[in-house]
Structure 1
Amino acid sequence: MIPVAGLEAVRAQYRLEPLQRPEQEKTRLIGYLSEAELRRGARLLDSGKREEFLVGRGLLREILAGLVVEEPGRLVFAEGQFGKPYLAAGQVAEGLRFNVSHAGGQLLVAVCYGAEIGVDLEEVRQDLAFRPMAERYFSVREREELFGLDPRQQLEAFYRCWTRKEAYMKAAGSGFSQPSTGFDVSLRPGEPAALLGHGADPTEVNRWRLADLPVPAGYCAALAVNSSPRRGEVGRGDVPSNC
């Protein structure tokens, strides 16, 4: 796992893994999965997506098992109200939180302790018609800043904004129950990743830290953690440590 600079207090770390694996390794990874995970994978009609899902879940289990000192196949997952996964109670998790994203044949797993975390990975498409997406999902401030840039800078700025917004929404665990147009993130070239404004709750700005992750060329990734959670907020799935 690679530590995230500036987020040492919550021990934020990440790992990027290819989803294409030798057949023997695929068999081992898929062998970790629960019946529910296998059924979920079987519902994916596209064989490539099905294999990526199954291998990705196996990799997630293997990575988390190394952190909580448990067999990968014995981990039990639960989900929050809006589908955010976490390790179910009864496991030695020590406040461990994790989040996952995959794109372009790569799996990104991020973890931290004692805080909520979200991560997003996107494969950069040079031919992406991003303007309609920005007009639909970005805030007024973000759209003004994006379209005010030199056209040659706009595609990268779009992906910076998109991954930062996705990471924040996934960390908050609310998914699209909170409108993506209701908060602002930074996107200008050279501007640090940050939550700049939140229409419904301005205090959110001081509670969250965003960071860009150094991923290979052709990808863009961001991470979000709540650096000062509200009382009782980081409680879903926490278990006492017996270490």
Structure 2
Amino acid sequence: MSAPHAQTRGTTGLPAPGSEQHHAPWCALNGQVHLWWFSLCLPPTALEGQLAALASGERSRLATMPPVAAARATTCRAAVRRLLGRYTDMEASALTISTSPHGKPRLADCHGITFSIAHCRDIGVLAVSRQFDVGVDIEPSERPVDLDMFARCVLSEAEARRLASMPPQDRRIHALRIWTRKEAVLKAAGTGLDRPLRLIDVDDIAQPLQLAGEQRCWQVQDIPLAHGRWLAAVAFDARMENPPIVARHYPDTVMSEQETEGV
């Protein structure tokens, strides 16, 4: 699988309403999975402009949330809608996004575009593909882990043996990778966390994974972001046959393109 690249310039603001340029070269999926990561921290002066990207129902729901949570949710939803708008050639606020009973998001009537969202602390991620389902999860690489409880509640027997055999200094990071992989697979499958995590083995991601009771198989790829400060995992339908995964920071790619075009 192609090594992902990430743009890590320090831009934290999102493009202003109306600044999106459709049909950008990076919008062509061409059998790839695109992974976008973005900051959820915007100055208060920038938040009002992001509301224009949201649907009216979203704005109403956000108005009932605590201010800090509302600000992060606004930033995340605006980034997701603006990016999906470029892939579908639609206005961000006009996109119809629904969720399955287990919370898997879907676009209505948008040319087979599939996507998955994750957020943690002050960062959000969006995975985008076409025709085949994808899932994504992210964790901070410094997050502490109770390894004994993790082994009892999350790991399969084989995963627990592998973790116990590793050098102590490597176990925490490996546990976080296992967690992000399992979350990504369950998001791609659209089943949520109702499945017993111990029955899912993602230790060997070189092999396709099949969930009990399902015909589809999944592949998983680990993606380090921001020079390893964040650990992400992307799961995708194995029928995609090892697609390149392209990781980018938003809005750096958008702004670079606009500078090139003289916008």
TM-score range, shorter chain: 0.7 to 0.9
Counterpart in 2 of 1:178?
Answer: 195
- The equivalences for 1:1-243 within 5 A come to 10-45=31-66, 47-89=67-109, 93-186=110-203, 193-194=205-206, 198=210, 200-201=212-213, 204=216, 207-216=217-226, 217-228=228-239
Secondary structure in 2 matching 1:171 = helix
**2:224/2:232 contact within 8 Å kept:** yes
Pair 1:181–1:127, CA change in 2 (3 A)? closer
**Per-residue CA shift, 1:105-151, capped at 9, x if unaligned?**
11111100110000001112353324313321222211121122111
> Quick one: which amino acid aligns to residue 167 of structure 1?
A
Q: Aligned-pair distance for 1:179? A: 1.9
SS at match of 1:184: coil
Paired AA for residue 77 in structure 2: R
The higher relative CO (CA closer than 8 Å, separation ≥ 6) is in 2
1:166 Cα offset (Å): 0.5
Distance 1:197 1:94, change over 3 A: closer
Q: Partners of 1:196 and 1:113 in 2: how far apart?
A: 19
Distance 1:88 1:122 in 2: 29
Residue ranges of structure 1 left out of the alignment (5+ in a row): 230-243
Give, in whole Å, the separation in 1 of the partners of 2:55 and 2:238. 33
Bigger shift: 154-163 or 171-180?
171-180
TM-fit CA distance, 1:16: 0.9
Report the residue type matching 1:200 in the other structure: A
Contact 2:202/2:209 (CA < 8 Å) preserved in 1? yes
Determine the structure 2 residue equivalent to 1:232. Answer: none
- Shift in CA distance, 9/3, structure 1 to aligned 2, threshold 3 Å: farther
Once the two structures are TM-superposed, the CA of residue 168 in structure 1 deviates from its matched residue by 0.3
TM superposition shift of 1:185: 0.4
1:135-182 CA-to-partner distances (Å, cap 9, x unmatched) read 212222111211221111101100110111110000000012322111
Structure 1 position 24, deviation (Å): 4.1
Q: Give distance in 2, aligned partners of 1:196 and 1:96.
A: 23
Q: Which residue identity is paired with 2:96?
A: V
Say whether the 8 Å CA contact 2:145–2:175 is kept in structure 1.
no
Greater mean deviation of Cα atoms: 36-45 or 50-59: 36-45
Aligned counterparts of 1:64 and 1:78: Cα–Cα separation in 2: 14
Normalization by structure 2: what TM-score? 0.73
C-alpha distance in structure 1 between counterparts of 2:213 and 2:45, whole Å: 50
- The alignment yields a C-alpha RMSD, in angstroms, of 2.6
Q: Assess if the C-alpha contact under 8 Å between 2:138 and 2:233 holds in 1.
A: yes
The alpha carbon displacement at 1:96 in A equals 0.5
Asked whether the equivalents of residues 208 and 238 of structure 2 are also in contact (C-alpha less than 8 Å), the reply is: no
Residue identity in the other structure for 2:236: V
Q: Given the superposition, is the C-alpha separation of residues 199 and 62 from structure 1 closer, same or farther in structure 2, using an over 3 Å criterion?
A: closer
| 1:116–1:171 Cα change, 3 Å | same
CA separation of 1:28 and 1:220: change in aligned 2, threshold 3 A: same
Aligned length: 215
SS in 1 for 2:119: strand
Return 5+ residue gaps in structure 2 as ranges.
6-28, 241-263
